[in-house]
Amino acid sequence: MRQKVSEESSGYFGPFGGRFVPETLIHALEELEEAYERYRDDPDFVEERDRLARDFVGRPTPFMFAERLTRKWGGADVWFKREDLAHTGAHKINNALGQILLADRMGKERIIAETGAGQHGVATATVAALYGKECVVYMGEEDIRRQAPNVVRMKLLGTEVRPVTSGARTLKDATSEAIRDWVANVEDTHYIIGSVVGPAPYPRIVRDLQSVIGHEIEAQANKRFGATPDAVVACVGGGSNAIGAFHPFVGRDGVRLIGVEAAGRGIETGEHGASLTEGSPGVLHGNLSYVLQTEGGQIREAHSISAGLDYPSVGPEHAYLKDNALAEYVSVTDADALEGFTTCCRLEGIIPALETSHAIFHAETVAKELGPGKNLVINISGRGDKDVAVVAEALGVDAREAEEVSGEG
């Protein structure tokens, strides 16, 4: 057994994490931490969370053998953990649900959130509607353009979507704006952060809420193939679906944990979102982690074809796992993610999120390294309905054009 994360209750994962925020937020973070410690094992809280996870979210999500992918790659057996089948179409709902329960118990009537791909915004708008809370979501203008269907969903759910026009008009800018709102309205407002990022205690709370994924994987793997997976592969934006899938396996011998970041237009172009593989330690949005920055310490703009991976930092626990060789991290380009996307559509009948497609592409390499007789799990973090316009543009698919008759049908 290798060393497990030790100092987390202090808000640190090794040297990473912490609480680098304006004075006005310290009290709110302490209040959140106290509420979490008080309710996490409270029978009423646990009953409400588990009941809604089952009846509202649809948990446990299925665990599926990807038979045609397994045959095509010719290596390990490939399994899909189907978070795309969770209510609202991604893992984000696991966290949003847990946090609205905490907000409700803290007596907060107003909810704010940031969103990139819009999946976290939709998940937050959804639980805010369920609990009758006022909700405001900050979203970069560039992401509003890329993920228009999710903007409409949030509005239908009664949430106000506030466009953010600063910087690259993506996730980093939306997060900065949400933090500004929180500083101004902290008395009656709870900020539902969408990933394992931000100041302590968020990385730990979001990790715990998402670890339902890993616990289900462990039980389902045992039932289906009578063993622990040999590898778990997940995409990494802020890192919440990956940490959730990895958590029960961290420090266990014989389980490779592989996080896949966005290499965007290619690492060498500088236009990517690979904070762990290319960044260096720095502070962004209240915590110390790997950050994409210039030599002078200015935060660099990230790029990815998938809005959910388009972020110049990553959760502090991933920084810790990387530095202690408890998980491996690689990166995959926009073009390769599109290939992973198409492969999954054609071979498994599932349109995956573009974020997830990064993990799918890299899983081929891992499946071949492991070889037949081993078991590899890909966390299918979300479905790709939100991405069809971006993919159609990238691949030149036009709905109005008559399909050319192809010999292969």
Cite the active site residues: 92, 114, 381
125 binds ligand PLP (CB under 6 A): no
Return the number of the residue (209 or 236) whose C-beta is nearest ligand PLP. Answer: 236
Return the number of the residue (114 or 218) whose C-beta is nearest ligand PLP. Answer: 114
Segment 173 to 212, residues that bind ligand PLP, using CB under 6 A: 195
- Interface characters, 376-395, with ligand PLP (x: CB under 6 A): -----xx-------------
273 binds ligand PLP (CB under 6 A): no
Q: How far is the CB of 313 from ligand PLP (least distance, A)?
A: 11
- The two beta strands, 287-291 and 280-284, are antiparallel
| Contact with ligand PLP (CB under 6 A) among 90, 157, 302, 344 | 90
Q: What is the 3-state secondary structure (H, E, C) of the chain?
A: CCCCCCCHHHCEECCEECCCCCHHHHHHHHHHHHHHHHHCCCHHHHHHHHHHHHHHHCCCCCEEECHHHHHHHCCCEEEEEEHHHCHHHECHHHHHHHHHHHHHHCCCCEEEEEECCCHHHHHHHHHHHHCCCEEEEEEEHHHHHHCHHHHHHHHHCCCEEEEECCCCCCHHHHHHHHHHHHHHHCCCEEECCCCCCCCCCHHHHHHHHHCHHHHHHHHHHHHHHCCCCCEEEEECCCCHHHHHHHHHHCCCCCCEEEEEEEEECCHHHCCCCCHHHHCEEEEECCEEEEECECCCCCECCCCCCCHHHCCCECCHHHHHHHHCCCCEEEEEEHHHHHHHHHHHHHHHCCCECHHHHHHHHHHHHHHHHHCCCCEEEEEECEECHHHHHHHHHHHCCCCCCCCCCCCCC
Q: How far is the CB of 195 from ligand PLP (least distance, A)?
A: 3
The site for ligand PLP, by CB under 6 A, has a size of: 21
Q: How far is the CB of 354 from ligand PLP (least distance, A)?
A: 8
Contact region for ligand PLP (CB under 6 A) — 98-106, 117-125, 250-258, 389-397?
117-125
388 burial class (0-12, 13-18, 19+ CB within 10 angstroms)? middle
353 binds ligand PLP (CB under 6 A): yes
> b/e map of 62-82 (b: 16 or more CB within 10 Å)?
ebbebeebbeebebbbbbbbb
355 binds ligand PLP (CB under 6 A): yes
Q: How far is the CB of 129 from ligand PLP (least distance, A)?
A: 19
Q: How far is the CB of 345 from ligand PLP (least distance, A)?
A: 15
240 binds ligand PLP (CB under 6 A): yes
Contact region for ligand PLP (CB under 6 A) — 45-53, 106-114, 238-246, 327-335?
238-246
Contact region for ligand PLP (CB under 6 A) — 1-9, 136-144, 178-186, 239-247?
239-247
Listed in sequence order, the residues at least 6 apart from 285 whose beta carbon sits closer than 8 Å to its beta carbon are: 172, 175, 176, 179, 197, 198, 199, 313
304 binds ligand PLP (CB under 6 A): no
119 binds ligand PLP (CB under 6 A): yes
Return the number of the residue (199 or 239) whose C-beta is nearest ligand PLP. Answer: 239
Contact region for ligand PLP (CB under 6 A) — 113-121, 264-272, 297-305, 395-403?
113-121
Return the number of the residue (35 or 309) whose C-beta is nearest ligand PLP. Answer: 309
Return the number of the residue (112 or 359) whose C-beta is nearest ligand PLP. Answer: 359
User: Is residue 252 within 8 Å of 273, Cβ to Cβ?
Assistant: no
117 binds ligand PLP (CB under 6 A): yes
| Contact with ligand PLP (CB under 6 A) among 199, 308, 312, 316 | 308
* CA-based radius of gyration for the chain: 20
The residue nearest ligand PLP at its CB is 382
235 binds ligand PLP (CB under 6 A): yes
What amino acid is encoded at 76 in this protein? A
356 binds ligand PLP (CB under 6 A): yes
Segment 309 to 328, residues that bind ligand PLP, using CB under 6 A: 309
Contact region for ligand PLP (CB under 6 A) — 106-114, 180-188, 284-292, 352-360?
352-360
Q: Which residues bind ligand PLP (CB under 6 A)?
A: 90, 92, 117, 119-120, 195, 235-242, 308-309, 353, 355-356, 381-382
